[in-house]
Amino acid sequence: MTLPQRVKLVEVGPRDGLQNEKAIVPTAIKIELIERLAAAGLSAIEATSFVSPQWVPQMADHAEVLRAVLASPRSRPEVSYPVLTPNLKGFDAALEAGALEVAIFASASESFSRKNINCSITESLKRFAAVSDAASALEIKVRGYVSCVVACPYEGAVDPAKSAWVAQRLLEMGCYEISLGDTIGAGTPASIQRLIEACVAVVPIEKLAGHYHDTYGMAIANIYASLELGMAVFDSSIAGLGGCPYAVGASGNVASEDVVYLLQGLGIECGVDMESLLAAGQFISRHLGREPASRAARALLARRGAE
């Protein structure tokens, strides 16, 4: 079995992480966090989401965050800053703020689709097709998500064939990459490999990414299981921040520091500097008044303190 030699990390902390924070994080802190993540070597950082501020108040400063990040002298031109756009209204607002990449987010579970974006899967795919048509006319890149690929907080287990079906629809719409969201972190290496096997029948592995929440502590094992099948793009969240406001009990994504530690141990390149990443994690954790959820970060920082 050969593992990929290089992996791309998509940092989702500023969006998936912060969207779940009850207390509003100041815009300047969000911008500083994104700048630090870019400086640490991450080449894709999901900056914010152009969703309804009534639904997710934490993301209400989306335009200000994106504008500032794109204009920042500290931002590197090779870094992409995708933003979530649930519909054309969000897409237009993202465009106005300068977005060069957007992400559309469908679900493999009907109930989650309704709770999260207030419409059925079929209706959501129509909305997303409108967004991706508008994007492709303007050469804006589109990334796709499928949520609840293994299980749904409302319906329980999800058939891998259903997740693959939604992934295929997103591919047909022109998404350059489809991120498989284990929204409630219920997957295990076996169920994740079954999922990937179903998906690769319709979407090439190069176009698939793993987006694993760490609710049950399985995310690192799930990444390893995905690497075994040739997957080479993973979403992660600095300091393990986050969750989804419409998936009760879902904890944060796998921590970026944990993934970088895993990849370094396997000799897999990811272009991220651990020291700068740790500092970015400490920066946001200090602001939130808690320790980083990353086990690797806590261990590395404790070792440093003891030296």
**Residues forming the site for ligand HMG (CB under 6 A):** 16, 19, 49-52, 55-56, 84, 86-87, 89-90, 105, 116-118, 145, 147, 181, 183, 211, 213, 244-246
Residue 76 has a CB neighbour count (10 Å cut-off) of 12
Residue 24 CA from chain centroid, whole number: 20
CB of residue 5 vs ligand HMG: minimum separation in angstroms? 27
Q: Scanning the structure block, which residue is given the tokens 């920066």?
A: 283
For ligand HMG, give the closer residue by CB, 19 or 75.
Answer: 19
Query: Residue 281: which of ligand HMG, Mg ion, none does it interact with, CB under 5 to 8 A by kind?
Result: none
Residue nearest to Mg ion (CB): 16
Q: Which is nearer to ligand HMG, 184 or 270 (CB)?
A: 184
- Name the residue nearer to Mg ion (CB basis): 46 or 61: 46
What is the 3 state secondary structure string of 211-231? EEECCCCCHHHHHHHHHHCCC
Q: Could you tell me if 146 and 178 are in contact, meaning their C-beta atoms sit under 8 angstroms apart?
A: yes
Summarize as ranges the residues that interact with Mg ion (CB under 5 A).
16
Rounded to whole angstroms, how far apart are CA atoms 65 and 134?
Answer: 23
Q: Which does 147 bind (CB under 5 to 8 A by kind): Mg ion, ligand HMG, none?
A: ligand HMG
Q: Which is nearer to ligand HMG, 147 or 285 (CB)?
A: 147
Q: CB of 118: closest distance to ligand HMG in angstroms?
A: 4
* Strand ranges in 158-255 using DSSP code E only, listed in sequence order: 177-182, 208-212, 233-236
Q: Using the CB atoms, write b or e for 21-41: b if 16+ within 10 Å.
A: beeebeeeebbbbbbbbbbbb
Decide if 48 contacts 66 (C-beta within 8 A): yes
Nearest distance from C-beta of residue 16 to Mg ion, angstroms: 4
The interface partner of residue 128, options being ligand HMG, Mg ion, none and the CB cut-off 5 to 8 Å by kind, is none
The one catalytic residue among 175, 199, 244, 270: 244
- What is the nearest approach in angstroms of ligand HMG to the Cβ of residue 231? 16
Q: State the binding partner of 89 from Mg ion, ligand HMG, none, CB within 5 to 8 A by kind.
A: ligand HMG
Q: Half-sphere exposure of residue 117, counting CA atoms within 13 Å on the CB side? A: 28
- DSSP designation for 296: H
Q: Residue 235 and residue 255: Cα distance in Å, rounded?
A: 9
Work out how close the CB of 180 gets to Mg ion at its nearest, in angstroms, rounded to a whole number.
11
Q: Measured from the CB atom, is 101 or 182 closer to Mg ion?
A: 182
Q: Which does 56 bind (CB under 5 to 8 A by kind): Mg ion, ligand HMG, none?
A: ligand HMG
Told to judge if 244 belongs to the known catalytic residues of this protein, a careful annotator would answer: yes
Tell me which DSSP letter residue 53 carries: T
Tokens read off for 38 = 């870019």
Catalytic residues: 244
